[in-house]
Amino acid sequence: MFPFRVIQLLLLLSLGFSINASCGDYDDHFYTCCSGVLHKGGDQECCGDKAYNPAFNTCCYNVLNKGGDLDCCGVQAYNPAFNTCCSGVLNDGGKLGCCNYEAYNPSFKTCCSGVLNIGGNQKCCDTKAYDPSTTTCCSNVLHKGGNQECCDVDAYNPIEYTCCSGVIARGAGLSCCGVKAYQKSLQTCCSGALNDGGGQQCCGVKAYKPSSTTCCSGNLNNGGGQSCCRTDAYNVSTATCCSYVINQGGGLACCGYDAYDLDSYYCCHGKLQEGPC
């Protein structure tokens, strides 16, 4: 058989009563239990140990405020149509922007890194606001003149100048060779060094024309279209490179450092001889 207390609790539940360890047995249609305190009136919400009707009150961090369906700003309730909450501080005026703790109208002011500036809908340069049509911001430095480009901390007009690694040079649309600006049709940049003559190839820091010169491991050799034997150039039709040594005669085989004719000699253990090995 069930103990009498269990039967009593089941009977109370069947009659619509609630059972709460802190408030005991009560009918939640007529009472509300909040943190161990029983209040008259059912179907209410709790704000700490207080019961309330959300249609007439608003609970903000366990503090009960008059007025229903409001927003919270810390422990204060407010109507967003008439007030603006900024970082827990309530400001007059609804639907405004926030700049730290202060509310503002973006049509008349601009917030830059927590600092309010007079003039709305502007851009920011660190804590200062500016009009990009009349001013240019470069690395948090303001310059007179709008719609310019930045070269490090300086502003420049790309129609008249070129920026190369933070250095401004006169002339638009130029190429850069380190910090120097140049015209590709007149000069060639090789590893940061400018050479006279445009459209050339590079051999280290020197420029050359492949039609008249051959580059071998950073060394320039007279004569174009040749092959390389380490740093020296040679003509394969008249010479043979064996272990970085140039031998007279083209199309020969190698035996160590020596070149030889397969029809006349044999290479035996790195040495040439007339008979078989």
What is the number of structural domains in the chain? Answer: 3
Q: Does residue 33 sit in the same domain as residue 105?
A: no
Whole-prediction pTM: 0.66
List Cβ<8 Å contacts ≥24 apart for 158-166.
Answer: none
Question: Do 101 and 90 share a structural domain?
Answer: yes
Sign of CA dihedral 46, 50, 53, 56: negative
Residue at 156 is within a domain: no
Q: What is the pLDDT of residues 162-201, one digit of tens each?
A: 999 999 999 999 999 999 999 999 999 999 999 999 999 9
Mean pLDDT of 21-37: 88
The reply to whether 126 falls in a domain is: yes
- Residues 61 and 94 reside in one and the same domain: no
Say whether both 235 and 277 belong to one domain.
yes
User: Read out DSSP for 220-250?
Assistant: EEESSS-EEETTEEE-TTTEEEETTEEEESS
Q: Which structural domain, as residue segments, surrounds residue 220?
A: 209-277
Do 24 and 69 sit in the same domain of this protein? Answer: yes
Tokens of 182: 């140049």
- Same-domain pairing of 235 and 247: yes
Cβ neighbours for 13, distance < 8 A, ≥ 6 positions apart: 19
Q: Give 81-116 pLDDT, tens digit per residue.
A: 999 999 999 999 999 999 999 999 999 999 999 999
Tell me the C-alpha to C-alpha distance, in Å, between residue 81 and each of 24, 71, 96, 150, 277: 43, 10, 9, 43, 105
